[in-house]
Amino acid sequence: MTPEVIVSIIATVMTAATPLLIAATGELVVERAGVLNLGVEGMMVVGAVAGFAGAQLTGNAWGGVGLAIACGAAFSLLFGILALTLATNQVATGLSLTLLGLGVSGMVGEAFIGQPGVKMASVNIPGLSDLPIVGPLLFGQDPIFYISIALVVGVSWFLFKTRAGLQLRAIGNNHGSAHALGIRVITVRYLAVMFGGACAGLAGAQLSLVYTPQWTEDMTAGRGWIALALVVFASWRPGRVLIGAYLFGAVTIAQFHAQAFGVAIPSQLLSALPYVSTIVVLVLISANRRMTMQNTPAALGKTFVPDH
């Protein structure tokens, strides 16, 4: 393999990893606030169709990105109203968000099937992108890649260096105590849920504007669920989400290349690889009970109803 081939393989890994990274980072913030939103897949697929539609309408990929973020956040608000204001079961509510998202995107997207999409152009950072190997990899990528890295850094800073981040973590640990101290539990959770929705929307837009610039039904293909698994894998730490997302990106890409190299394994088996490895990773992580217990936000998934 020539260096060019290796660089291009790594570049595809990064492209495959970016949507997972963005969606998982968003969900990480949601879960740190003590909310389990299983609707990532639904918000992501809504983002994908909104991204495609926005780009078609405006003729500009950025129009798609903006619409996807807005739709993802708005869609997550549905979850918020039920799970936060009406105190419904978070697991069931998240599932219904996913089912509704798949339904709505399928209906809205019917018109787009087979249409050529708008591909987001790469941005070369002058001077740096000409460097050998690292140049094209780190400085010649699409804008969403840069956003994803900034997102991880930003979230990490927010959670661990700011007062608001401290409050958010406190809520996720014990919403009753946080409420007693006067922290606005429901408000902060709404903001976190909408941030998660915006991230999932952006991740969806990456799929329909960068990864495969077109619309196909259910094009997220379980990536929203893998993003949820990544948060567990990362034990709720942004830096580890980055590592996890890239590992999964590599697994996804490995199956394509294995097929290209004519490895005598049925293609379906290779396609199953990301899903199987998700399970394997979850088992390995959760088997360490002590560590999971220590890291899991203690209020995760529990409904909170303040007394008045």
Residues that bind other proteins (CB under 8 A): 38, 78, 82, 85-89, 91-93, 95-96, 99-104, 106-107, 110, 163, 166-167, 169-170, 173-174, 176-183, 221-222, 225, 228-229, 232, 266, 268-269, 271-272, 275-276, 278-279, 282-283, 286-287, 289-290, 292-294, 298, 305, 307-308
**Judged by CB, which is closer to other proteins: 69, or 170?**
170
**Judged by CB, which is closer to other proteins: 133, or 305?**
305
Give the span between the Cα atoms of 94 and 92, in whole angstroms.
5
DSSP state of 237: -
Both tokens of 49, joined, read 């169709």
Smallest distance from the beta carbon of 120 to other proteins, in angstroms? 27
**Judged by CB, which is closer to other proteins: 170, or 192?**
170
**Judged by CB, which is closer to other proteins: 133, or 162?**
162
**Judged by CB, which is closer to other proteins: 93, or 206?**
93
Smallest distance from the beta carbon of 67 to other proteins, in angstroms? 18
Q: Give 186: exposed, middle or buried? Use CB within 10 Å, 0-12, 13-18, 19+.
A: middle
Smallest distance from the beta carbon of 12 to other proteins, in angstroms? 21
Smallest distance from the beta carbon of 99 to other proteins, in angstroms? 5
Smallest distance from the beta carbon of 300 to other proteins, in angstroms? 11
Amino acid present at 178: A
